[in-house]
Amino acid sequence: MRNESKVNELLREATEWRLIGLFFECPEGEWKKNVEGLAGEVADDNLRKAAEFSKAQAGEGLYHAIFGPGGPAPAREISYRDWVQPGYLLSELSAYYDAFSYSPATIEIPDHIAVEAGFISYLRMKEAFALMRGDEEGAEVTASASRKFIDEHLSKISERMAKSLAESEIDYLVLASDALFRRVGPDRDARVKKILPVLSNPDEEVECSM
């Protein structure tokens, strides 16, 4: 099969992204069964370890304490954005999802980390299927959208969330957030904010007024 190795790589990545997203969903219903099933399909040792830890650690109460209102690691992108209105962000995300006919498997809101990670899993699948059909152009469009989405959205969350969860001692979330950050990388648009104003002429005398 043409592009067979690339297709297999994309399918592997799709499974890993889906598992990462699942780790950030509320652990209710068939959650543990689904985690166990996906963990058996991935080769990433840290994700497999996270799945093992989750058997004893994951619980609805703990989940809401960490990711709920006032928790140490917000799960929504808007919590990490300083100058973006919630309505605009949700509209932008919905446009992404609609463009690729993405229907999240979770009931979480569109800017939730589980939904966004699930979207990358979905795009990896679409790219793989496009290559299997010989649709090189469609595959590149999907790959480009994936890169752009990661840069514009997931990168705003991953590093700060990983740092917050690193102190939680909840092993499965520490490993899951680290796996997410390793795939996303730092926010390329991050800027160091200036605390003090810069004078155009440092030698200019400025009077203090009361």
Each residue's pLDDT, cut to its tens digit, for the chain (210 residues) gives 568 899 999 999 999 999 999 999 999 999 999 999 999 999 999 999 999 999 999 999 999 999 988 889 999 999 998 877 889 999 999 999 999 999 988 888 999 999 999 999 999 999 999 999 999 999 999 999 999 999 999 999 999 999 999 988 899 999 999 999 999 999 887 654 433 344 344 444 545 444
Can you read off the two tokens belonging to residue 169?
């001692």
Q: Is 184 exposed, middle or buried (0-12, 13-18, 19+ CB in 10 A)?
A: buried
What integer pLDDT is reported at residue 69 of this predicted model? 84
What integer pLDDT is reported at residue 139 of this predicted model? 95
Distance CA 27, CA 54 (A): 9
Can you read off the two tokens belonging to residue 210?
């009361």
Can you read off the two tokens belonging to residue 110?
């569109």
Give which of 171, 202, 198, 200 is closest to 23, Cα–Cα.
171
Q: Is 178 exposed, middle or buried (0-12, 13-18, 19+ CB in 10 A)?
A: middle
Residue 112's SS3 state is strand
Distance CA 167, CA 174 (A): 8
What integer pLDDT is reported at residue 129 of this predicted model? 96
Longest dimension (CA), the chain: 78
Q: Which domains does the chain have, with CATH numbers?
A: 4-184 (1.10.3480.10)
Question: In this structure, are residues 71 and 64 in contact, taking their beta carbons and an 8 Å threshold?
Answer: yes
Can you read off the two tokens belonging to residue 196?
């003090």
Q: What is the CA radius of gyration of the chain?
A: 20
Total residue count of the chain as it appears in this document: 210
> Within 13 A of 160's CA, how many CA atoms are on the CB side?
18
Give which of 46, 25, 13, 57 is closest to 150, Cα–Cα.
13
Distance CA 132, CA 111 (A): 31
Give which of 85, 80, 90, 87 is closest to 110, Cα–Cα.
90
- Residue 156's identity, in one-letter code, is K
What integer pLDDT is reported at residue 191 of this predicted model? 53
What integer pLDDT is reported at residue 1 of this predicted model? 53
For the whole model, what pTM was predicted?
0.87
